[in-house]
C-alpha cells in the first residue's frame, strides 16, 4: 500500500504544480474525488458497465450551481463500428441514501471511435452524489 501511495503522491504534487492557482480541475469538483484520489480511481468508483459494452469513460466533469450538480461524462466508442448503448445516472443524497426516482435508460447511438459527451444535472438539491451506469 505504502509503496503504491508514494508515486501517486508525487504525481499529484506535480499535477498541482502545473495547475493555475485556485482553479480546480473539473473532475476534482466531482463528489468523491478526494476519497478516490485520482481521476481514474474516481471513474472506477463512479462508472458501472453492464453487459460489457465496448465503451470507456475518458473524462468526467462536475460543477455546482444553484444547489444542483451538473455532470459531463465523456465516453469513447472503442469499436470501429457503430454501437448502440443505453445509460442512466443514479443519484444519492449526502448521507448515501438513493434518491427515490429511478431514471429511464436513455438509448444512445455511437459512431465508430466517436467521443461523446453525455450531460445531465441532478434531479434536485437533495441529490449530492451520482453514479453512471452504461449498458449494452
Partner 1 sequence: MRIRFVVRTWLVAVVVVALGVAGGCAKQVRYGDPKSVETVNIDFGSTDLQVIAEAMTRSLLQSPVVGGGSRPIVTVQDVKNKTSEYIDTRAITDSIRAELLKSGQVRFAVDEVGMDEQIDELERQQSEYYDQEQSAEIGNMVAAQYRLQGSIISIVKEADGVKDVYYKFNLQLWNVRNGLLEWSDEKDIRKTES
Which helix (H) or strand (E) segment is 113 a member of? none
Q: Which is nearer to partner 1, 30 or 71 (CB)?
A: 71
Kindly tell me which of 13 and 63 has the beta carbon lying closer to partner 1. 63
x-marked contacts with partner 1 along 18-57 as a string, rule CB under 8 A? ----------------------------------------
Closer to partner 1 by Cβ: residue 41 or 126: 126
Q: What is the phi/psi pair of residue 7, to 5°?
A: -60, -35
- Cα 39 from Cα 95, distance rounded (Å): 23
Binding region for partner 1 (CB under 8 A) out of 12-20, 35-43, 75-83, 97-105: 97-105
Give the residue among 29, 45, 5, 26 at the shortest CA–CA distance from 13. 5
Grid cell, residue 72, equals 459531463
Give the interface segment with partner 1, choosing from 13-21, 29-37, 72-80, 98-106 (CB under 8 A): 98-106
As measured in angstroms, the least distance from the Cβ of 102 to partner 1 is 5
CB 64 within 8 A of CB 29: yes
Output the CA–CA distances (angstroms, integers) from residue 70 to 33, 73, 77, 119, 125, in the order listed.
15, 10, 23, 8, 11
Does position 103 bind partner 1 by CB under 8 A?
A: yes
Q: Does residue number 121 form part of the binding site for partner 1 (CB under 8 A)? A: yes
Stretch that binds partner 1, among 5-13, 35-43, 61-69, 74-82 (CB under 8 A): 61-69
Amino acid at each position: 500500500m505504502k509503496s503504491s501511495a508514494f508515486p501517486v503522491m508525487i504525481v499529484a504534487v506535480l499535477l498541482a504544480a502545473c495547475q493555475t492557482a485556485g482553479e480546480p480541475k473539473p473532475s476534482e469538483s466531482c463528489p468523491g474525488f478526494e476519497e478516490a484520489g485520482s481521476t481514474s480511481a474516481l471513474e472506477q468508483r463512479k462508472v458501472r458497465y453492464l453487459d460489457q459494452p465496448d465503451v470507456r469513460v475518458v473524462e468526467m466533469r462536475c460543477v455546482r450551481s444553484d444547489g444542483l450538480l451538473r455532470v459531463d461524462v465523456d465516453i469513447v466508442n472503442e469499436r470501429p463500428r457503430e454501437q448502440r448503448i443505453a445509460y442512466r445516472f443514479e443519484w444519492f443524497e449526502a448521507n448515501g441514501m438513493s434518491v427515490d426516482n429511478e431514471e429511464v435508460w436513455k438509448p444512445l447511438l455511437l459512431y465508430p471511435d466517436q467521443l461523446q459527451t453525455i450531460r445531465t444535472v441532478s434531479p434536485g438539491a437533495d441529490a449530492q452524489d451520482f453514479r453512471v451506469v452504461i449498458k449494452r
